[in-house]
Amino acid sequence: MSRGPVEYVIIGFPGNEFKGEIVPALADLVDSGTIRIIDLVFVGKTQDGDVVTFEVDGEHADLEAYSALDGEVGEYIGDEDIAHAAAALEPGNSAALLLWEDVWAAPFVEAVRNAGGVLLEGARIPQELIEQAEALAESFG
């Protein structure tokens, strides 16, 4: 069975406000077979700067909406990942660490492998750079 690329994001929540608005969008991606959630961990910093983690099992009322997501939340995100995310947080703020498989890309990955291809490099281009490039192209066009 081929597997699609695996990606992660760290999404900040200033003021520890875990709103459920992103849950329906994630659920749509899972339900359509676009992604498969592999792991999800919430991390925060207390006002004193202590790092804490939250599970989506009802421990934190604002996270309840996330428990409805279909996925195989496991032990992939470890202490080093949590420390990395926490380093960017100011006291009183939180973040979600989300790890997913790009299921949509699995057939492409298999085709590349079958063709003898190897990935030499890949990166996500920040939205701000795309917007700048589009604005520049429009100014010439």
Establish if 45 belongs to a structural domain.
yes
- What pLDDT, on the 0 to 100 scale, is given for residue 8? 93
pLDDT at 56 over 70: no
Domain membership flag for residue 28: yes
17 or 33, which is more confident? 33
Residue 117 belongs to some domain of the structure: no
Query: Is 132 part of a structural domain of the chain?
Result: no
- Torsion over CA: 56, 59, 62, 64 (sign): positive
In this prediction, residues 80-102 reach a mean pLDDT of 93
Domain that holds residue 90: 6-104
Residue 82, CA distances (Å) to 37, 52, 63, 77, 113 in order: 17, 9, 17, 7, 33
Report the number of distinct structural domains present in the chain.
Answer: 1
CA atoms of 139 and 130, how far apart (whole Å): 14
Assess if residue 139 is contained within a domain. no
pLDDT at residue 54, as a whole number: 75
pTM score > 0.95 for this model?
Answer: no
> Domain for residue 32, yes or no?
yes
Asked whether the beta carbons of 126 and 29 are under 8 A apart, the reply is: no
Residue that is written with structure tokens 């009802």 in the block: 58
CA angle 94/9/26 to nearest 5° reads 90
What average pLDDT does this structure show over 57-83?
72
Any domain includes 86: yes
Interval 17-40 mean pLDDT: 86
Percentage of the residues of the chain whose pLDDT score is greater than 90: 53
The residue count of the chain comes to 141
Is residue 130, in this structure, part of any structural domain at all?
no
